[in-house]
């Protein structure tokens, strides 16, 4: 018989709290940073754009469009938050904070949609790499 492992409930609670509270707060900025890195290295020979752009130009462009939206989300969101905060009749600071909080999570939403759409593109890329070996 297999021995029943002892459970560390402290670690379990900390991990659950990390996944529920910390990760959603850190993930949008990580997605934003990864998008900027991806956009700056799009000319490299092993990027998805270079490998599959000839075969699937419209699909690659559509996926890259999500990167562009994510990259623009923070600057545009900040401008919108400032404008709405200044133009608000009353509660300008609360309007600014609300729009800023919504803006912070925009990369999470667009990143999720991009990943759903790019699953097939990544699969085709890896199959093409494997077939060349």
Q: Are 33 and 40 in contact (CB under 8 A)?
A: no
CA atoms within 13 A on the CB side of 38: 18
Q: Render pLDDT for 54-94 as a digit per residue (tens, 0 to 9).
A: 777 888 888 889 999 999 999 999 999 999 999 888 888 89
End-to-end CA distance of the chain: 45
pLDDT of residue 131: 80
Q: How many Å apart are CA 67 and CA 65, to the nearest integer?
A: 5
How does the average pLDDT of the chain come out, rounded?
86
pTM of the full predicted structure?
A: 0.76
Q: How many Å apart are CA 92 and CA 124, to the nearest integer?
A: 49
pLDDT of residue 28: 93
């Amino acid at each position: 018989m297999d021995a029943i492992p002892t459970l560390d409930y402290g670690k379990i609670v900390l991990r659950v709290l990390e996944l529920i509270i910390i990760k959603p707060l850190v993930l949008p900025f990580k997605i934003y940073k990864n998008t900027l890195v991806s956009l700056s290295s799009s000319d490299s020979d092993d990027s998805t754009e270079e490998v599959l752009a000839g075969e699937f130009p419209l699909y690659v462009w559509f996926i890259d469009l999500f990167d562009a939206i994510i990259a623009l989300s923070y600057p545009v969101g900040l401008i919108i938050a400032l404008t709405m905060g200044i133009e608000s009749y009353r509660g300008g600071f609360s309007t600014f904070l609300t729009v800023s909080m919504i803006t912070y999570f925009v990369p999470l939403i667009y990143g999720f949609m991009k990943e759903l759409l790019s699953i097939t593109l990544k699969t085709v890329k890896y199959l093409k790499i494997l077939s060349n070996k």
